[in-house]
Structure 1
Amino acid sequence: MNTQQIIQREIQQKWPVIPQKDTPIHKAGLVLPPGNWAAFDPFLVMAEDNMQKGAFEHHPHRGIETVTYMIDGVLRHSDNKGNKGELRMGDTQWMTAGKGLLHLEEAPENGFAHLLQLWVNLPAENKMEEPRYQDILRSHTPVRKEDGVEIRIISGSSGNVTSTTLNYTPVTMVEIELAAGKTVIQDFPADYNGFIYVVNGAGVFGANKVAGKESEVLWLSQSVDNPSEVEITTTEQLRCLAIAGKPLREPVVAKGPFVMNTEEQVNQAFKDLRDGGFGEWYEQKL
């Protein structure tokens, strides 16, 4: 029997996400700005993208996992290993780049993709794993239901409901939908850094009852030694993501699409890319 005290998380910081128009076909806002490696550990960066076809070209990754959550629209993805697929509203893709691949994510012709993409750091011992994909479709995601509450467990658990998503870095990620005037509690294991991102709606968050609304990030206070939970009460219908992960506490060296533990490893990744170690790119029909 677990007799550890459960810590009530507070909101430690709050900041808005302000989209900027990068190009005529791409707007982006930083949810978690890069460079805050220790504070956000194990998370590296998170962006909200709203784009049309052609916003990005194919590109490599190594040493990370990219977690793509669809707010709205359609996203088509493919890589140079023959993988391809399509994500729609509420779907999530958990891609382990591992030792590396070339991939492309784009909206369909005459369509759009509105999404959140989170980069999760991989432990040193797993940075060179074989790449893998986990498409977590909304229709197949485990759901915890209460009166006026639906929590979809993308990774980790919520209450007694657990996801089958595989993690190298332990992460809890849930989509919470609440009717107006409802309250819910989301639990986290001990020693998880975490935050809430409000997709739409508004509510009051944490033990210190901080108001939060659409396009705001609410960073949670720490609970290193004890399991914890955060309380959310809506002031209007709400859709948000609660995301928390176990810090790796390892060195971070990040350059472009590569995140490793040393400069030498990053330089090797660029050399491998130049030497064709990531393979050739070829177009796929989606």
Structure 2
Amino acid sequence: MTDNILISHAPASGEEIWRGSYGDVEAAVSAARRAWAPWAARPLTDRIAVLRTFSNLVRREGEEFAELIAREMGKPLWEARTEVDAVVNKIDIAVQAYAERTGKKKLDAGLNASAALRHKPHGVMAVISPYNFPAHIPNGHIVPALIAGNAVVFKPSEKTPAVGEALVSAFHRAGVPEDVIQLLVGGPEEGKALVAHPGIDGVLFTGSAQVGIAINRKLAANPGKIVALEMGGNNPIVVTDTPRLADAAALIAQSAFTTAGQRCTAARRLIVLDSIYDALMAELVPLTR
């Protein structure tokens, strides 16, 4: 980072991948507030059609997306390709989830009365995402928010702004209006300002527990704002008495070291029976070298 300029470098080579100015939180939120009502007023079928166009676009350009993810984040290309697949597949998952949670419902009640359940967009959602899955994780928040008629201000990790820019560009090229989803480049200060902005109706955050707890405290006095926090995990693997120790060792290594362990689902603790400990270590240790 330099004065008001963010620069992204490839972790493998140090080459400069991206540079750009820090975003303007006030301008981004104000534009999103103006844009979300017209987007919400469009028929659901139109919004879904636009997002299916986005899915098809990412599928067509999948190799370019994967190469960018691999270069900027540092994960191997095969893993970056699986991330692109997850971005593409999210549309169908989100459409189905929306259908299951909305629509008309018949309520069985003893009262001689009728009840109506109406769903409406929240408004402008802030999406703040980490660097380990720079396309898949924010996409998992952005797509459902757009389907439901919300606008989005998306702040990617300062480590992966190029992937964030490519993702937002794909939404725009697919037909999502530019002010409906906006890229906010920046670091912690921009993130804090975005969370605190009164024009934000909710925060969808994935990242560290420390930051997530701070967001929760900041918004605790605003119960009308939706807050979704995914703050990692502390995941054990339990190995019981099994003759398939080689398979167990391979799964342990895969869970612990894929993405260099930088994922919320990575194995962090290993619980093993004393009776098989030595035999399991004989299989596992060589895989870690």
As a proportion of its length, which structure holds more strand? Answer: 1
Same-fold call, TM > 0.5? no
Give the structure-1-normalised TM-score.
0.24
Higher relative CO (Cα under 8 Å, sequence separation at least 6) belongs to 1
TM-score under structure 2 length normalisation: 0.24
Greater Rg, structure 1 or structure 2?
2
